[in-house]
Amino acid sequence: MSNTVSDIAVKTIDGKEKPLSDYAGNVLLIVNVASYCGYTPQYAGLEKLNQKYRDAGLRILGFPCNDFGAQEPGSNAEIVQFCSTNYDVTFELFDKVHAKGSEQHPLYGRLTSAVEPTGNVSWNFEKFLVSKQGEVVARFKSSVKPDSPKLIAAIEKELDQ
């Protein structure tokens, strides 16, 4: 099975198809996000990462998800409003997805089988790091904060490749 995500298309938050191959040459941090979660304040840290590393080639992709505790009930418009009002989010947000279960988005099917530990996303704000070549290279649990030295080291390593 491939551990690249370049052949997968996703929907932007305003409903347009976007192939992940559009991000070739960038390092991706893919995160399933939610507005009403104990980890929601991580939006602020993700935005700081975005501000610090965007010019170096990092792209943070936020995928709203209501699979965990129904903590993302809002419409796409409500999600955008919440993120911009509360956290000044400027990184890209996408259409709501299922990160697990029978309706799991193909992106999450690939992410959760590409690196150890494999298996379902267990909660909101789980993070997947993708190389400039589109390969899934690391997975970080929800409790790993955006300013975690381990996460930052992994991002910087990929940006330097």
The CA distances from residue 47 to 2, 56, 60, 103, 146, in Å, are: 30, 15, 8, 29, 9
Q: What is the DSSP-derived secondary structure letter of residue 146?
A: T
Q: What distance in Å separates the CA atoms of residue 45 and residue 128, rounded to the nearest whole number? A: 15
Determine phi and psi for 75, rounding to 5 degrees: -75, 165
Amino acid identity, position 146: P
Q: What is the pLDDT of residue 2?
A: 73
Q: What distance in Å separates the CA atoms of residue 123 and residue 65, rounded to the nearest whole number? A: 10
Q: Which of 27, 30, 37, 58 is catalytic?
A: 37
Q: What is the pLDDT of residue 1?
A: 53
Which regions in the chain score pLDDT beneath 70? 1
pTM recorded for the entire structure = 0.97
CATH 3.40.30.10 fits 9-160, yes or no: yes
Average pLDDT, the chain: 96
Q: What is the pLDDT of residue 55?
A: 98
- Give yes or no for a cis peptide into 19 (omega within 30° of 0): no
- Helices vs strands, H then E, count in the chain: 4, 7
Active site residue 65: no
Q: In this structure, are residues 47 and 145 in contact, taking their beta carbons and an 8 Å threshold? A: no
Determine phi and psi for 70, rounding to 5 degrees: 50, 45
| pLDDT tens track for 114-134 | 998 999 999 999 999 999 999
Q: What is the pLDDT of residue 56?
A: 98
